[in-house]
Structure 1
Amino acid sequence: MKISSAILAEAFARDSRNALTLVGVGQNVILTSKLPLQLRRVVFVQVTGDVDEFKEDRLVTFTLNVTSPSGDVLTDISSQANISSLPWSDIPGSLDLLAETDFTAKEYGKYPLKTLVNMDEHQEFDIELTLYIKEPSP
Protein backbone atom coordinates (compact mmCIF):
# COMPACT_ATOMS: atom_id res chain seq x y z
CA MET A 1 0.00 0.00 0.00
CA LYS A 2 1.03 3.59 -0.57
CA ILE A 3 -0.35 7.12 -0.70
CA SER A 4 -0.85 7.67 -4.43
CA SER A 5 -2.21 11.23 -4.22
CA ALA A 6 -2.84 14.01 -1.72
CA ILE A 7 -4.67 17.23 -2.52
CA LEU A 8 -5.30 20.40 -0.52
CA ALA A 9 -8.57 22.18 -1.33
CA GLU A 10 -10.87 24.89 0.03
CA ALA A 11 -14.01 22.73 0.15
CA PHE A 12 -15.70 19.62 -1.22
CA ALA A 13 -19.11 18.50 -2.43
CA ARG A 14 -20.77 15.22 -3.39
CA ASP A 15 -23.27 14.68 -6.18
CA SER A 16 -26.23 12.27 -6.39
CA ARG A 17 -23.87 9.40 -7.29
CA ASN A 18 -21.76 10.21 -4.20
CA ALA A 19 -18.92 11.28 -6.49
CA LEU A 20 -16.50 13.69 -4.83
CA THR A 21 -15.76 17.17 -6.18
CA LEU A 22 -12.93 19.23 -4.68
CA VAL A 23 -13.31 23.02 -4.82
CA GLY A 24 -10.45 25.52 -4.84
CA VAL A 25 -7.66 23.05 -5.57
CA GLY A 26 -4.14 24.48 -5.74
CA GLN A 27 -4.84 27.48 -3.52
CA ASN A 28 -1.85 27.00 -1.26
CA VAL A 29 -0.90 30.71 -1.02
CA ILE A 30 -3.29 33.13 0.65
CA LEU A 31 -2.68 36.86 0.50
CA THR A 32 -4.20 38.90 3.31
CA SER A 33 -3.48 42.28 4.86
CA LYS A 34 -5.37 41.41 8.07
CA LEU A 35 -4.85 38.75 10.68
CA PRO A 36 -6.30 36.75 12.35
CA LEU A 37 -7.87 34.92 9.41
CA GLN A 38 -10.42 32.12 9.81
CA LEU A 39 -9.75 29.30 7.32
CA ARG A 40 -11.35 26.04 6.26
CA ARG A 41 -9.31 23.45 4.39
CA VAL A 42 -9.95 19.97 3.04
CA VAL A 43 -7.27 17.31 2.65
CA PHE A 44 -7.98 14.43 0.27
CA VAL A 45 -5.68 11.39 0.38
CA GLN A 46 -5.93 8.30 -1.82
CA VAL A 47 -4.27 5.08 -0.67
CA THR A 48 -3.78 2.37 -3.28
CA GLY A 49 -2.46 -1.18 -3.24
CA ASP A 50 -2.95 -4.79 -4.25
CA VAL A 51 -6.36 -6.35 -3.73
CA ASP A 52 -5.07 -8.67 -1.00
CA GLU A 53 -3.97 -5.63 1.06
CA PHE A 54 -7.60 -4.47 1.29
CA LYS A 55 -8.88 -7.23 3.51
CA GLU A 56 -12.28 -6.78 5.09
CA ASP A 57 -12.31 -5.33 8.60
CA ARG A 58 -8.83 -3.80 8.47
CA LEU A 59 -8.85 -0.77 10.75
CA VAL A 60 -7.83 2.51 9.09
CA THR A 61 -6.96 5.59 11.16
CA PHE A 62 -6.62 8.93 9.35
CA THR A 63 -5.06 11.87 11.22
CA LEU A 64 -4.70 15.52 10.18
CA ASN A 65 -2.49 17.94 12.10
CA VAL A 66 -2.16 21.65 11.25
CA THR A 67 0.70 23.62 12.80
CA SER A 68 1.34 27.37 12.83
CA PRO A 69 4.66 28.85 11.64
CA SER A 70 5.71 29.21 15.29
CA GLY A 71 4.91 25.55 16.03
CA ASP A 72 1.53 25.82 17.78
CA VAL A 73 -0.84 22.93 17.01
CA LEU A 74 -3.99 24.48 15.52
CA THR A 75 -5.82 21.29 14.56
CA ASP A 76 -5.28 17.68 15.50
CA ILE A 77 -8.16 15.50 14.31
CA SER A 78 -8.41 11.78 13.78
CA SER A 79 -11.03 9.35 12.50
CA GLN A 80 -11.26 5.58 12.15
CA ALA A 81 -13.09 3.19 9.85
CA ASN A 82 -13.06 -0.47 8.87
CA ILE A 83 -12.40 -1.43 5.26
CA SER A 84 -15.25 -3.19 3.47
CA SER A 85 -14.58 -6.02 1.09
CA LEU A 86 -13.71 -4.96 -2.45
CA PRO A 87 -16.31 -5.70 -5.13
CA TRP A 88 -13.72 -6.73 -7.76
CA SER A 89 -10.77 -9.02 -7.24
CA ASP A 90 -9.09 -8.30 -10.59
CA ILE A 91 -8.27 -4.59 -10.12
CA PRO A 92 -6.06 -2.83 -7.54
CA GLY A 93 -7.73 -1.54 -4.40
CA SER A 94 -8.05 2.10 -3.42
CA LEU A 95 -9.27 3.98 -0.40
CA ASP A 96 -10.29 7.66 -0.51
CA LEU A 97 -9.84 9.56 2.75
CA LEU A 98 -11.14 13.06 3.37
CA ALA A 99 -10.66 15.45 6.29
CA GLU A 100 -12.09 18.94 6.68
CA THR A 101 -10.87 21.35 9.33
CA ASP A 102 -11.29 24.95 10.44
CA PHE A 103 -8.47 26.92 12.03
CA THR A 104 -7.37 30.49 12.64
CA ALA A 105 -4.17 31.87 11.12
CA LYS A 106 -2.71 34.44 13.52
CA GLU A 107 0.65 34.92 11.83
CA TYR A 108 2.21 35.04 8.39
CA GLY A 109 4.29 32.12 7.16
CA LYS A 110 4.21 28.41 6.42
CA TYR A 111 1.41 26.22 7.80
CA PRO A 112 2.21 22.50 7.46
CA LEU A 113 -0.78 20.15 7.14
CA LYS A 114 0.51 16.72 8.11
CA THR A 115 -1.55 13.64 7.36
CA LEU A 116 -0.97 10.15 8.70
CA VAL A 117 -2.70 6.99 7.53
CA ASN A 118 -2.35 4.02 9.86
CA MET A 119 -3.48 0.53 8.84
CA ASP A 120 -4.11 -1.91 11.71
CA GLU A 121 -1.73 0.07 13.93
CA HIS A 122 1.41 -1.28 12.23
CA GLN A 123 1.49 0.04 8.67
CA GLU A 124 1.87 3.84 8.45
CA PHE A 125 1.98 6.30 5.56
CA ASP A 126 2.37 10.05 5.91
CA ILE A 127 2.50 13.10 3.70
CA GLU A 128 2.77 16.83 4.33
CA LEU A 129 0.97 19.54 2.38
CA THR A 130 1.71 23.23 2.89
CA LEU A 131 -0.38 26.39 3.08
CA TYR A 132 1.33 29.80 3.05
CA ILE A 133 -0.21 32.96 4.51
CA LYS A 134 1.48 36.01 2.98
CA GLU A 135 1.07 39.76 3.29
CA PRO A 136 0.37 41.41 -0.08
CA SER A 137 3.24 43.35 -1.61
CA PRO A 138 2.71 47.13 -1.56
Structure 2
Amino acid sequence: MRIKWILLCEGFGLDSKGALTAIGLNQNVVASETLPVQTKRAIIIRLIDENEPAYQGVMTISFSVISPTGKVVSANTANVSIGPKKFSDLPGTGEIPAELILNLSEYGTYRVSAEIRLEDDRVETVAEYLYVVSSPGLAS
Protein backbone atom coordinates (compact mmCIF):
# COMPACT_ATOMS: atom_id res chain seq x y z
CA MET A 1 0.00 0.00 0.00
CA ARG A 2 1.39 3.39 -0.92
CA ILE A 3 0.24 6.98 -1.28
CA LYS A 4 -0.67 7.84 -4.87
CA TRP A 5 -1.41 11.55 -4.22
CA ILE A 6 -2.57 14.15 -1.71
CA LEU A 7 -5.23 16.76 -2.37
CA LEU A 8 -5.71 20.00 -0.42
CA CYS A 9 -9.17 21.57 -0.70
CA GLU A 10 -11.67 23.57 1.35
CA GLY A 11 -13.85 20.60 2.27
CA PHE A 12 -15.38 17.34 1.13
CA GLY A 13 -18.75 15.64 1.02
CA LEU A 14 -19.91 12.02 1.07
CA ASP A 15 -22.97 10.76 -0.78
CA SER A 16 -25.25 7.92 0.34
CA LYS A 17 -22.99 5.33 -1.34
CA GLY A 18 -19.88 6.71 0.35
CA ALA A 19 -18.51 8.42 -2.76
CA LEU A 20 -16.20 11.29 -1.84
CA THR A 21 -16.49 14.74 -3.44
CA ALA A 22 -13.78 17.40 -3.02
CA ILE A 23 -15.04 20.97 -2.57
CA GLY A 24 -13.00 24.09 -3.35
CA LEU A 25 -10.01 22.69 -5.22
CA ASN A 26 -6.93 24.83 -5.82
CA GLN A 27 -7.53 26.95 -2.74
CA ASN A 28 -4.01 26.90 -1.36
CA VAL A 29 -3.71 30.66 -0.71
CA VAL A 30 -5.11 32.39 2.36
CA ALA A 31 -5.04 36.18 1.92
CA SER A 32 -5.52 38.03 5.19
CA GLU A 33 -5.30 41.64 6.23
CA THR A 34 -4.44 40.66 9.81
CA LEU A 35 -3.18 37.69 11.81
CA PRO A 36 -4.11 35.36 13.33
CA VAL A 37 -6.59 34.07 10.78
CA GLN A 38 -8.74 30.95 11.05
CA THR A 39 -9.52 28.74 8.06
CA LYS A 40 -10.77 25.24 7.35
CA ARG A 41 -8.95 22.91 4.99
CA ALA A 42 -9.50 19.32 3.99
CA ILE A 43 -6.83 16.81 3.07
CA ILE A 44 -7.60 13.76 0.96
CA ILE A 45 -4.97 11.09 0.40
CA ARG A 46 -5.35 8.41 -2.26
CA LEU A 47 -3.94 4.99 -1.44
CA ILE A 48 -3.18 2.23 -3.95
CA ASP A 49 -1.65 -1.24 -3.86
CA GLU A 50 -1.06 -1.90 -7.57
CA ASN A 51 1.87 -4.17 -8.50
CA GLU A 52 2.20 -5.55 -4.97
CA PRO A 53 0.29 -7.95 -2.73
CA ALA A 54 -2.88 -6.52 -1.20
CA TYR A 55 -2.24 -5.04 2.23
CA GLN A 56 -4.29 -6.33 5.15
CA GLY A 57 -3.79 -5.13 8.69
CA VAL A 58 -3.61 -1.94 10.69
CA MET A 59 -2.40 1.27 9.09
CA THR A 60 -1.50 4.36 11.12
CA ILE A 61 -2.35 7.60 9.34
CA SER A 62 -0.98 10.95 10.49
CA PHE A 63 -1.76 14.44 9.24
CA SER A 64 0.22 17.53 10.23
CA VAL A 65 0.42 21.22 9.42
CA ILE A 66 3.73 22.96 10.13
CA SER A 67 4.15 26.76 10.15
CA PRO A 68 6.85 28.64 8.23
CA THR A 69 8.97 28.75 11.41
CA GLY A 70 8.51 25.04 12.17
CA LYS A 71 5.71 25.19 14.76
CA VAL A 72 3.07 22.45 14.75
CA VAL A 73 -0.26 24.11 13.93
CA SER A 74 -2.26 20.88 13.79
CA ALA A 75 -1.49 17.17 14.11
CA ASN A 76 -3.80 14.16 14.10
CA THR A 77 -3.15 10.41 14.08
CA ALA A 78 -5.59 7.53 13.66
CA ASN A 79 -5.42 3.78 13.12
CA VAL A 80 -7.36 2.18 10.28
CA SER A 81 -7.92 -1.56 9.81
CA ILE A 82 -7.67 -2.78 6.22
CA GLY A 83 -9.50 -6.02 5.43
CA PRO A 84 -9.61 -8.24 2.36
CA LYS A 85 -10.20 -6.62 -1.01
CA LYS A 86 -13.70 -6.81 -2.45
CA PHE A 87 -12.41 -7.45 -6.00
CA SER A 88 -9.24 -9.51 -5.63
CA ASP A 89 -8.23 -9.23 -9.29
CA LEU A 90 -8.21 -5.39 -9.27
CA PRO A 91 -5.70 -3.02 -7.66
CA GLY A 92 -6.78 -1.97 -4.19
CA THR A 93 -7.50 1.73 -3.79
CA GLY A 94 -9.02 4.03 -1.23
CA GLU A 95 -9.20 7.61 -0.06
CA ILE A 96 -8.62 8.88 3.46
CA PRO A 97 -10.16 12.32 4.14
CA ALA A 98 -9.55 14.64 7.08
CA GLU A 99 -10.83 18.15 7.82
CA LEU A 100 -8.77 20.56 9.89
CA ILE A 101 -9.58 23.92 11.46
CA LEU A 102 -6.36 25.92 11.31
CA ASN A 103 -5.41 28.98 13.38
CA LEU A 104 -2.65 30.59 11.33
CA SER A 105 -0.49 33.18 13.04
CA GLU A 106 2.35 33.66 10.54
CA TYR A 107 2.62 34.77 6.95
CA GLY A 108 4.49 32.37 4.68
CA THR A 109 4.43 28.75 3.51
CA TYR A 110 2.80 26.07 5.66
CA ARG A 111 3.62 22.39 5.02
CA VAL A 112 0.55 20.14 5.04
CA SER A 113 1.62 16.50 5.16
CA ALA A 114 0.18 13.02 5.41
CA GLU A 115 1.98 9.87 6.46
CA ILE A 116 0.94 6.23 6.45
CA ARG A 117 2.79 3.65 8.52
CA LEU A 118 2.13 -0.05 7.95
CA GLU A 119 2.59 -2.81 10.52
CA ASP A 120 5.85 -3.90 8.83
CA ASP A 121 7.20 -0.36 9.50
CA ARG A 122 6.98 0.76 5.85
CA VAL A 123 6.34 4.51 5.80
CA GLU A 124 5.00 6.72 3.01
CA THR A 125 4.90 10.51 3.32
CA VAL A 126 3.51 13.15 0.99
CA ALA A 127 3.07 16.93 1.35
CA GLU A 128 1.22 19.87 -0.13
CA TYR A 129 1.61 23.57 0.74
CA LEU A 130 -0.68 26.31 2.00
CA TYR A 131 0.42 29.93 1.49
CA VAL A 132 -0.64 32.69 3.87
CA VAL A 133 -0.11 36.14 2.40
CA SER A 134 -0.70 39.68 3.55
CA SER A 135 -3.39 41.31 1.52
CA PRO A 136 -4.56 44.71 2.78
CA GLY A 137 -8.25 45.26 2.18
CA LEU A 138 -9.10 41.61 1.53
CA ALA A 139 -10.75 39.11 3.84
CA SER A 140 -9.45 35.52 3.87
Q: TM (normalized to structure 2)? A: 0.90
Paired position in structure 1 for 2:131: 132
Amino acid at match of 1:3: I
Paired position in structure 2 for 1:52: 53
Offset of residue 52 of structure 1: 2.5
Contact 2:32 2:136 in 1 (8 A): no
Query: 1:124 and 1:82 mapped to 2: Cα distance?
Result: 16
Offset of residue 130 of structure 1: 0.3
Instruction: Say which SS state the counterpart of residue 112 (structure 2) adopts.
Output: strand
Amino acid at match of 1:9: C
Paired position in structure 1 for 2:18: 18
Paired position in structure 1 for 2:7: 7
The percentage of aligned residue pairs carrying the same residue is: 27
Query: 2:128 and 2:71 mapped to 1: Cα distance?
Result: 17
Instruction: Say which SS state the counterpart of residue 18 (structure 2) adopts.
Output: coil
Amino acid at match of 1:128: A
What does the per-residue CA deviation read over 1:48-97, in whole Å, with 9 as the maximum and x for residues that have no partner? 11372223xx1111101111111111111101111021111111011211
Following TM superposition, where does structure 1 have runs of at least 4 consecutive aligned residues deviating by more than 4 angstroms? none
The total of aligned residue pairs comes to: 136
Paired position in structure 2 for 1:41: 41
Query: 1:94 and 1:42 mapped to 2: Cα distance?
Result: 19
Q: TM (normalized to structure 1)? A: 0.91
Paired position in structure 2 for 1:93: 92
